[in-house]
Amino acid sequence: MCRSFVSLFIFVLVGLSHATTTNRDATMVMICDKLGLTFYTAAELTTIAKCIEPQFYKTPNNNTAILSVGKNCILSNSGNKALQAMSLYSNANNCLSPDSLDTVVTKLVPPIQTMTSTLVNKVKTTLSDCKKTNTQTADAKQETCLQKTYGVAKAAITLTYVDNTCKKVVNQHVSSAWWTCGKKYIPSVIKMDKYNCSKIVKA
Ligand SMILES: *[C@@H]1O[C@H](CO)[C@@H](O)[C@H](O)[C@H]1NC(C)=O
Ligand SMILES: *[C@@H]1O[C@H](CO)[C@@H](O)[C@H](O)[C@H]1NC(C)=O
């Protein structure tokens, strides 16, 4: 009895340590712990990420498709936070009016992509190399290639990297009206004071 309990315990421990050591899971933990995302737990982020992955895997270069699937994944996988997410989305839209969160995101993606192109290319090259060379069956191949991609992304994205990108984006591409809304609503999602970017004052 006792021995089977102990082996069950070990089995669970091994299972848990395996579950928390995939690159996907580690990336989500990094986003929460290091980058300061507070709105979702790492486990919730993992669910959302898994929802977006098939589209990202299929069309890594189609931002329109990824953003549209991403938005649906966020809204439909927010569980008990769906109401909060919807209300934040609608408050942000009201604040940004006559613009909307969608138009602002759509406008900011190209400059952010240019600024982060070295990193983004590295991540996308990892994925496309894996898609070309991996010989597993479709599902196993997708999972292996995504895990590799997460590994590269996790190593490259640091707090300072995000802060520097944020500073450039806000200084060059964010209007003072947008920034007023950003300062009002971003802290509901992320620990903004971790970033020097949050200190930017727009005239
Ligand atoms: C990108 O995705 C959108 C939405 O799914 C689609 O309408 C569009 O044709 C795609 N663009 C390209 C270049 O494949
Ligand atoms: C913010 O600026 C300070 C002083 O220059 C610097 O030490 C710190 O690393 C910066 N924070 C981030 C997140 O890069």
Q: Where are the domains of the chain?
A: 2-189
pLDDT band at 3 (very low <50, low <70, confident <90, very high): low
Q: How far is the CA of 85 from the centre of ligand 2 (A)?
A: 30
Shortest-distance Cα residue to atom 2 of ligand 1: 65
64, 68, 73, best to mutate for ligand 1 pocket (most atoms within 8 Å of CB): 64
Q: Mean pLDDT, to the nearest integer, of 184-202?
A: 96
DSSP state of 61: T
Q: Which tokens in the block code for residue 86?
A: 């919807």
Distance 168 CA to ligand 2 centre (A): 14
Task: Tell me the average pLDDT of the chain.
Answer: 90
> Who contacts 75 (Cβ-Cβ below 8 Å, separation ≥6)?
82, 85, 86, 89
pLDDT in tens, 50-61: 999 999 999 999
* Ligand 2 proximal residues by C-beta, below 6 Å: 159-160, 163, 195-196
Contact 195, 163 (CB under 8 A): yes
Least confident of 80-89, 134-143, 188-197: 80-89
Residue 187 pLDDT exceeds 90: yes
Determine the distance separating the centroid of ligand 1 and the alpha carbon of 97, expressed in angstroms. 27
Tens of pLDDT, residues 8-56: 455 544 544 445 479 999 999 999 999 999 999 999 999 999 999 999 9
Percent of the chain predicted with pLDDT > 70: 90
Confidence band of 4 (pLDDT split at 50, 70, 90): low
What ligand is nearest to the CA atom of residue 55? 1
